Amino acid sequence: MSETMQTTTVEETKPQGVFSRLVRAILITVAAFWAISHLSQGFTLVTGRFLWTDGNVEPGLPLEHLPILTTAELRPGTSATMEDADLLLRWANATPLFLEAATVVIAAWLLLRVLRRVTQREAFSTKTINYWKALSLTLMVGGVLIGLINTFATLYTSAHVGLWPNTGQRDRAAQADFLGGDYVGINIDFPNWPISLIVAGLVALALTTAFRAGAQLERDVDGVI
């Protein structure tokens, strides 16, 4: 009888173990690709150059590749690339990408810890709840910081090209010095706030509350028994 029960338990838990490993592998793969993609984009913005070219393309990035710009049209007969633009402008556009990569990697690590605790039948332990809490804070704080820096980048650019109220129209030489070239058409996009990250953080916070209630219920049941 004991051997039969043990065999049944193994048969039930083995598929769960395979599924858990598959989920972890997918999570690690997605987080790794996400981080590599955002880090590489960030480095190209900081340097203003493509990471690599085939030799037939100029290494300098067009200014309109900055996330906050929709168009950046050079005056006919002039040339310039992003590497000629203001350094703080480039960093203000690249930093959100670095932050998003870090946020996703940390969140993935915390979620992996949660999955491990759940597979070990410790879903309502104090450590698991703390991981949920850290996950929600990571996503929400990371999302808000990214949004704030994107907003700063938009305001900073608008002020230096004379599009922000009370800044006055910038003279052509000052604007060219800031942008790194003589541009006749600059369109700035609205600040990008990563709503998906913030919402994911709120969902994780709700799950933290649910798991905390589950832990309390488990303690109450143990007390009754």
Return the pLDDT at 30.
94
Two tokens, residue 201: 């953080």
Higher pLDDT, 81 or 9: 81
Report d(CA 6, CA 3) in Å as an integer.
5
Instruction: Reply yes or no on whether the pLDDT at 169 is more than 70.
Output: no
The proportion of the chain whose per-residue pLDDT surpasses 70, expressed as a percent, equals 82
DSSP 66-132: STTEEEEEEPTT----GGGS-HHHHHHHHHHHHHHHHHHHHHHHHHHHHHHHHHTT-TTSHHHHHHH
- pLDDT, one tens digit per residue, over 35-89 is 999 999 999 999 999 887 666 667 889 999 999 999 999 999 898 999 999 999 9
Instruction: Reply yes or no on whether the pLDDT at 215 is more than 90.
Output: no
Return the pLDDT at 213.
78
3: Cα within 13 Å, side-chain hemisphere: 0
58: helix, strand or coil: coil
- pLDDT, one tens digit per residue, over 183-198 is 988 899 999 999 999 9
Instruction: Reply yes or no on whether the pLDDT at 3 is more than 50.
Output: no
Summary mean pLDDT of the chain: 85
Instruction: Reply yes or no on whether the pLDDT at 156 is more than 60.
Output: yes
| Residue entry with tokens 């989920």 | 23
Across the range 92-113, mean pLDDT stands at 96
Contact yes or no for 139/194 (Cβ under 8 A):
no
